[in-house]
Amino acid sequence: MTRLFRRKTAAVAIAALALALAGGGIAAAKPTSGSAQPTARSAQQPAVTTASLNSAKATLAKGDGMSTQAVSGFYATAVNANGTKARGAGVVIKYGVGEYEVQFGSNVTNGIYVATIGRPDSCCIPPAGEISVARRLLTPNAVFVQTRDSAGTPADLPFYLLVHR
């Protein structure tokens, strides 16, 4: 019986090796001369403006109040591509193409930030692209969101943001 298992084991090992050698391989595609290459991504946030700092201080001073989001420990915000808030918590400031700051009524420095591209209205599938979210430098009650198209070029895209404090 053990001899039968040894033969089967050897046959399976040889078959797996043969399949790997016959079907395996590496493929590389040569880019065409006109194909768009992703642009270099910048890890830099725009400078904090005086207006942004004043807005952050006012939002922080106003606080959360007794809203449902403040009690449950999270903020949820839907933002249009043009930088206006569609619904949810926070104050939105648009810096440049694809650069947004969202300010809240409490310190979110140690929070967890999740963002996804999505349309705040009930129509259609959202545009394809990329989104990044990080703590806002020098502003403890804000996060910085950056959106790009699929090629990596900064683009104004609508998004949802969830911050768990």
Least confident of 28-42, 123-137, 140-154: 28-42
Higher pLDDT, 28 or 59: 59
Q: What is the spatial distance between Cα 49 and Cα 41, in angstroms, rounded to a whole number?
A: 22
Residue ranges of the alpha helices (H) in 24-144? Answer: 50-62, 68-72
State the burial class of residue 93 (Cβ atoms within 10 Å of its Cβ: 0-12, 13-18, 19+).
Answer: buried
Whole-Å CA distances, 110 to 65, 90, 103: 20, 17, 14
Please name the residues in contact with 35: beta carbons below 8 A apart, sequence gap of 6 or more.
Answer: none
Helix (H, G, I), strand (E, B) or coil at 10: helix
Q: How many CA atoms lie within 13 A of 121 on its CB side?
A: 7
Q: Summarize the confidence of residues 71-90 as an average pLDDT.
A: 91
At 28, is the pLDDT very low, low, confident or very high (cuts 50, 70, 90)? very low
pLDDT at residue 51, as a whole number: 85
Percentage of the chain surpassing pLDDT 90?
A: 50
What ranges do the domains of the chain cover? 70-164
Tokens of 20: 């790997």
DSSP one-letter string for 52-69: HHHHHHHHHHH--TT-HH
At 101, is the pLDDT very low, low, confident or very high (cuts 50, 70, 90)? very high
Helix (H, G, I), strand (E, B) or coil at 17: helix
Q: Summarize the confidence of residues 48-61 as an average pLDDT.
A: 84
**Cβ 90 vs Cβ 44: under 8 Å:** no
Q: Summarize the confidence of residues 90-113 as an average pLDDT.
A: 95
| Statement: the pTM of the whole predicted model exceeds 0.85 | no
